Amino acid sequence: MNKPHDFDLPAGIRRDLCAPEEWQVRVELAAAYRLADRFGWSMLIFNHITARVPGADEHFLINNFGLMYDEITASNLLKIDLDGNVVGDYRGETRVNRAGYVIHSAVHAARHDVQCVMHTHSVAGEAVASIEPGLLHINQDSMQLTGQVAYHDFEGLAVDDAEKRSLVADLGDRNVLILRNHGLMTAGSSVGEAFMLMWLLEHACRTQVAALSMGQPLHGSQDMLTRIANLVPQQQYVITPTGLGGLPFRSLLRWLDRHDSSYRD
């Protein structure tokens, strides 16, 4: 007889126990997990994306540790408080990734303008995080992040509450954090904004890795690149005046619905 799996029954919460505003955020956050998986940003059961619960500043939603990203749904996201306690009546087993709690509770506690925090360990992201120059503003995608990128030195696996202070200090008021020798993090005023910032950052990292792998000089003088890079963020709002979390993210939700809408369950 086959032995039962350790995590067969993911915890779930009934939709009627959630306020409509919370359920909407749950749907968007579950979609972010599914999209991250489809874009190749997931890493088995590890890493995490969180979103603040509307109307409850001290509560945020996080994945139930043990589920892969393509198993995440609106109902099986866990609501936890800033101390890491699970809040609500869940059916089934609940587990919170310690590293996820440390990183995300730190940002949600310190930055009340941030609604969503996204963390990845992609190959390109870790590669850029592991080289001394970090992210180079050498293409249109990375230039859109000019003035938004901060850096945090590696302190080992993020399981120690002591790291919260340095992580928050390094992030400051910026929305993109490159965790040295570790990975990437974005923060946004909505799930859509955090996701689209990560999309830009991941695309910029992949482009940088590809460009440097060609062994050719980078085009453009440093003065020219700096001047244009400082201009691009202003131009960005001409293309997406409602912000990155608007039209681009809504189009991704429609795309995801055409392929698999089970994240809404």
**Top-confidence residue, 52 or 156:** 52
Nearest to 29, CA basis, from 51, 13, 1: 51
Does residue 93 or residue 205 have the better pLDDT? 205
Q: Following DSSP, what letter does each residue of 237-252 receive, concatenated?
A: HHH-TT-TTTHHHHHH
HSE-CB at 239 with a 13 A cutoff on CA atoms is 9
Q: Does residue 250 register a pLDDT over 60? A: yes
Return all residues near 61 (Cβ < 8 A) that are at least 6 apart: 25, 26, 29, 50, 51, 52, 53, 77, 78, 79, 80
Question: What does pTM read for this prediction?
Answer: 0.88
Q: What's the full length of the chain, in residues?
A: 265
Decide if 170 contacts 152 (C-beta within 8 A): yes
Task: For residue 218, name the pLDDT band (cuts at 50, 70, 90).
Answer: confident
Contact 39, 31 (CB under 8 A): no
